[in-house]
Amino acid sequence: MSTEISHHKTLSESIPRKPRIATTSLCGCFGCHMSLLDIDERILQLAEIVDFDRSPITDIKHCGPCDVGLIEGGVCNAENVHVLREFRANCKTLVALGACAINGGLPAARNTIDVGECLAEAYCTPAIAIENPGIPNDRELPLLLDKVRPVNEIVRIDYFLPGCPPSGDAIWQFVSALVTRRIPRLSYALIKYD
Protein backbone atom coordinates (compact mmCIF):
# COMPACT_ATOMS: atom_id res chain seq x y z
CA MET A 1 0.00 0.00 0.00
CA SER A 2 2.78 2.38 0.77
CA THR A 3 4.65 1.29 -2.32
CA GLU A 4 2.82 3.72 -4.51
CA ILE A 5 3.49 6.68 -2.27
CA SER A 6 7.16 5.96 -1.99
CA HIS A 7 7.25 5.39 -5.72
CA HIS A 8 5.87 8.86 -6.31
CA LYS A 9 8.29 10.31 -3.78
CA THR A 10 11.22 8.75 -5.59
CA LEU A 11 9.97 10.12 -8.85
CA SER A 12 9.64 13.65 -7.56
CA GLU A 13 13.05 13.42 -5.99
CA SER A 14 14.60 12.15 -9.16
CA ILE A 15 13.60 15.28 -11.08
CA PRO A 16 16.97 16.94 -11.69
CA ARG A 17 17.40 19.92 -9.46
CA LYS A 18 20.27 22.36 -9.86
CA PRO A 19 22.64 22.30 -6.92
CA ARG A 20 22.56 25.54 -4.91
CA ILE A 21 25.70 27.37 -3.87
CA ALA A 22 26.04 30.09 -1.25
CA THR A 23 29.16 32.14 -0.62
CA THR A 24 30.18 34.73 1.92
CA SER A 25 33.18 36.70 3.06
CA LEU A 26 33.57 36.96 6.83
CA CYS A 27 36.77 38.55 8.11
CA GLY A 28 38.46 38.40 4.72
CA CYS A 29 39.52 40.84 2.02
CA PHE A 30 37.22 39.56 -0.73
CA GLY A 31 40.35 38.31 -2.46
CA CYS A 32 38.97 34.76 -2.53
CA HIS A 33 35.77 36.07 -4.14
CA MET A 34 37.85 37.98 -6.69
CA SER A 35 39.61 34.71 -7.36
CA LEU A 36 36.22 33.04 -7.81
CA LEU A 37 35.55 35.58 -10.56
CA ASP A 38 38.92 34.62 -12.04
CA ILE A 39 37.31 31.48 -13.38
CA ASP A 40 36.40 33.95 -16.15
CA GLU A 41 33.97 32.74 -18.79
CA ARG A 42 33.61 29.44 -16.96
CA ILE A 43 31.28 31.31 -14.63
CA LEU A 44 28.66 30.99 -17.40
CA GLN A 45 29.08 27.21 -17.33
CA LEU A 46 28.79 27.33 -13.57
CA ALA A 47 25.64 29.41 -13.75
CA GLU A 48 24.14 26.80 -16.08
CA ILE A 49 24.65 23.94 -13.67
CA VAL A 50 24.10 25.67 -10.31
CA ASP A 51 21.88 28.25 -8.69
CA PHE A 52 23.45 30.87 -6.46
CA ASP A 53 21.83 31.46 -3.09
CA ARG A 54 23.18 33.98 -0.57
CA SER A 55 26.32 35.49 -2.05
CA PRO A 56 27.87 38.89 -2.79
CA ILE A 57 27.15 37.95 -6.41
CA THR A 58 23.38 37.75 -5.88
CA ASP A 59 23.04 40.14 -2.95
CA ILE A 60 20.62 37.68 -1.32
CA LYS A 61 20.76 38.54 2.42
CA HIS A 62 20.00 35.17 3.99
CA CYS A 63 20.87 31.66 3.12
CA GLY A 64 18.29 28.99 2.32
CA PRO A 65 18.93 25.25 2.06
CA CYS A 66 22.00 24.78 -0.12
CA ASP A 67 24.27 22.03 -1.33
CA VAL A 68 27.55 23.88 -1.04
CA GLY A 69 28.65 26.86 1.05
CA LEU A 70 31.95 28.62 0.48
CA ILE A 71 33.31 30.63 3.41
CA GLU A 72 36.00 33.20 2.87
CA GLY A 73 37.69 34.82 5.86
CA GLY A 74 38.09 34.02 9.53
CA VAL A 75 35.73 34.89 12.37
CA CYS A 76 36.44 38.22 14.05
CA ASN A 77 33.10 39.44 15.36
CA ALA A 78 29.63 38.42 16.51
CA GLU A 79 28.07 38.92 13.07
CA ASN A 80 30.63 36.55 11.50
CA VAL A 81 29.54 33.92 14.00
CA HIS A 82 25.85 34.38 13.12
CA VAL A 83 26.54 34.18 9.37
CA LEU A 84 28.75 31.14 9.79
CA ARG A 85 26.11 29.38 11.89
CA GLU A 86 23.48 30.20 9.27
CA PHE A 87 25.67 28.67 6.58
CA ARG A 88 26.35 25.57 8.63
CA ALA A 89 22.69 25.09 9.34
CA ASN A 90 21.76 25.39 5.65
CA CYS A 91 24.64 23.98 3.63
CA LYS A 92 25.12 20.26 3.19
CA THR A 93 28.80 20.77 2.47
CA LEU A 94 30.70 23.66 3.96
CA VAL A 95 34.06 24.71 2.58
CA ALA A 96 36.70 26.92 4.22
CA LEU A 97 37.99 28.92 1.29
CA GLY A 98 41.48 30.40 1.56
CA ALA A 99 44.07 31.15 4.23
CA CYS A 100 41.98 33.35 6.55
CA ALA A 101 39.09 30.91 6.79
CA ILE A 102 41.53 28.07 7.46
CA ASN A 103 43.95 29.77 9.85
CA GLY A 104 42.56 33.20 10.71
CA GLY A 105 45.12 34.70 8.35
CA LEU A 106 46.35 38.28 8.50
CA PRO A 107 43.51 39.57 10.73
CA ALA A 108 44.61 37.04 13.35
CA ALA A 109 47.81 39.04 13.75
CA ARG A 110 45.86 40.98 16.40
CA ASN A 111 45.43 37.85 18.50
CA THR A 112 48.42 38.63 20.69
CA ILE A 113 47.10 42.11 21.46
CA ASP A 114 44.23 42.98 23.79
CA VAL A 115 41.18 43.90 21.71
CA GLY A 116 40.67 47.02 23.84
CA GLU A 117 44.17 48.23 23.02
CA CYS A 118 43.55 47.58 19.30
CA LEU A 119 40.40 49.67 19.30
CA ALA A 120 41.98 52.42 21.39
CA GLU A 121 44.88 52.60 18.95
CA ALA A 122 42.48 52.90 16.01
CA TYR A 123 39.88 55.25 17.43
CA CYS A 124 41.48 57.15 20.29
CA THR A 125 45.03 57.96 19.17
CA PRO A 126 45.34 61.79 19.10
CA ALA A 127 47.89 61.68 16.28
CA ILE A 128 45.30 60.36 13.84
CA ALA A 129 43.23 63.51 14.51
CA ILE A 130 39.80 61.88 14.68
CA GLU A 131 36.89 64.12 15.57
CA ASN A 132 35.22 62.96 18.78
CA PRO A 133 37.73 60.21 19.52
CA GLY A 134 36.22 57.22 21.29
CA ILE A 135 35.51 53.56 20.70
CA PRO A 136 32.26 53.19 18.66
CA ASN A 137 29.54 51.46 20.65
CA ASP A 138 26.43 51.69 18.49
CA ARG A 139 24.13 48.68 18.91
CA GLU A 140 24.18 48.27 15.12
CA LEU A 141 27.86 47.39 15.23
CA PRO A 142 28.83 43.78 15.86
CA LEU A 143 31.15 43.33 18.83
CA LEU A 144 34.66 42.04 18.20
CA LEU A 145 35.69 38.64 19.56
CA ASP A 146 38.77 38.66 21.77
CA LYS A 147 40.58 36.65 19.08
CA VAL A 148 40.16 36.07 15.36
CA ARG A 149 39.30 32.40 14.87
CA PRO A 150 39.54 30.02 11.92
CA VAL A 151 36.05 28.90 10.87
CA ASN A 152 36.61 25.29 11.98
CA GLU A 153 36.91 26.43 15.58
CA ILE A 154 33.29 27.65 15.46
CA VAL A 155 31.49 25.07 13.30
CA ARG A 156 32.22 21.75 11.61
CA ILE A 157 33.89 22.20 8.23
CA ASP A 158 33.88 19.59 5.48
CA TYR A 159 36.60 20.81 3.16
CA PHE A 160 39.55 23.18 3.31
CA LEU A 161 40.74 24.84 0.10
CA PRO A 162 44.07 26.55 0.87
CA GLY A 163 45.67 29.51 -0.85
CA CYS A 164 45.87 33.26 -0.44
CA PRO A 165 43.77 33.30 -2.48
CA PRO A 166 43.20 29.86 -4.00
CA SER A 167 43.61 30.32 -7.75
CA GLY A 168 40.61 30.58 -10.04
CA ASP A 169 41.59 27.24 -11.54
CA ALA A 170 41.72 25.61 -8.11
CA ILE A 171 38.31 27.01 -7.19
CA TRP A 172 36.86 25.88 -10.53
CA GLN A 173 38.19 22.37 -10.24
CA PHE A 174 37.08 22.11 -6.63
CA VAL A 175 33.59 23.55 -7.01
CA SER A 176 32.80 21.83 -10.32
CA ALA A 177 33.71 18.51 -8.71
CA LEU A 178 31.54 19.19 -5.66
CA VAL A 179 28.44 20.22 -7.58
CA THR A 180 28.69 17.21 -9.87
CA ARG A 181 29.02 15.00 -6.81
CA ARG A 182 32.57 13.91 -7.44
CA ILE A 183 35.22 13.88 -4.71
CA PRO A 184 37.29 17.02 -5.24
CA ARG A 185 40.94 16.32 -5.96
CA LEU A 186 43.42 19.03 -6.72
CA SER A 187 46.61 18.41 -8.62
CA TYR A 188 49.85 19.33 -6.86
CA ALA A 189 50.41 22.36 -9.11
CA LEU A 190 47.15 23.90 -7.93
CA ILE A 191 48.08 23.79 -4.25
CA LYS A 192 51.79 24.57 -4.54
CA TYR A 193 52.54 28.13 -3.58
CA ASP A 194 56.28 28.75 -3.79
Partner 1 sequence: MHEKERAPTPEQAARHAITRYHHDPSCLVQILHDVQDALGWLPPPALTAIAETLGISRAHVEGVAGFYSFFHLEPVGQYRIFFSDNITDRMLGAPKLMAMMCRILNVEPGHRSADGAVTVGTTSCTGMCDQGPALLVNGFPVTRLTQERIREICNLIAARAPVKEWPKEFFLVENNIQRSDQLLKFRLDPGSALKAAVAKGRDGLLAEIHQSNLRGRGGAGFTTATKWEAAKKAPGPERFVVCNADEGEPGTFKDRVLLTSYADHVIEGMTLCAYAIGAQRGFIYLRYEYRYLVPHLEAVLRQRRTLGLLGKNILRQADFDFDVEIRLGAGAYVCGEETALIESLEGKRGTPRIRPPFPVTCGYMGKPTVVNNVETLAKTCLVLAESADEFAATGTPQSSGTKLLSISGDCARPGIYEYPFGIGIAQILEDCGASNVQAVQVGGASGTCLAPYEFHRRIAFENVSTAGSFMIFGINRDMFEVARNFVHFFAHESCGFCTPCRVGTSLLKNLMDKMHNNKGANYDLSEIERLTDILKTSSHCGLGLSAGNPVITTMSKFTDVYVKRLQPFEFEPEFDLDKALARARQITHRDDTEAHFQDEREILS
Question: Residue 88 Cβ, how far from partner 1 at the closest point, in Å?
Answer: 8
Residue from the set 153, 180, 187, 193 that interacts with partner 1 by CB under 8 A: 153
Cis amide bond preceding 166, omega within 30: no
Residue from the set 37, 130, 135, 191 that interacts with partner 1 by CB under 8 A: 135
Question: Which is nearest to 37 in space by CA: 140, 166, 186, 181?
Answer: 166
CB-nearer residue toward partner 1: 17 or 61: 61
Residue from the set 37, 109, 114, 187 that interacts with partner 1 by CB under 8 A: 114
Question: Which is nearest to 20 in space by CA: 179, 184, 171, 173?
Answer: 179
Cβ neighbours, 10 Å, residue 83:
20
- Asked if 130 touches partner 1 (CB under 8 A), the answer is no
Cβ density class 53-79: b for 16+ within 10 Å, e for less: bbbeeeeeeebeebbbbbbbbbbbeee
Question: Residue 80 Cβ, how far from partner 1 at the closest point, in Å?
Answer: 11
Amino acid letter at 181? Answer: R
Question: Residue 183 Cβ, how far from partner 1 at the closest point, in Å?
Answer: 15
**Among the candidate windows 62-70, 154-162, 169-177, 183-191, which touches partner 1 by CB under 8 A?**
154-162
Distance CA 55, CA 24 (A): 6
Which residues sit at the interface with partner 1, rule CB under 8 A? Answer: 78, 81, 85, 89, 114-116, 119-120, 135-137, 139, 142-147, 152-156
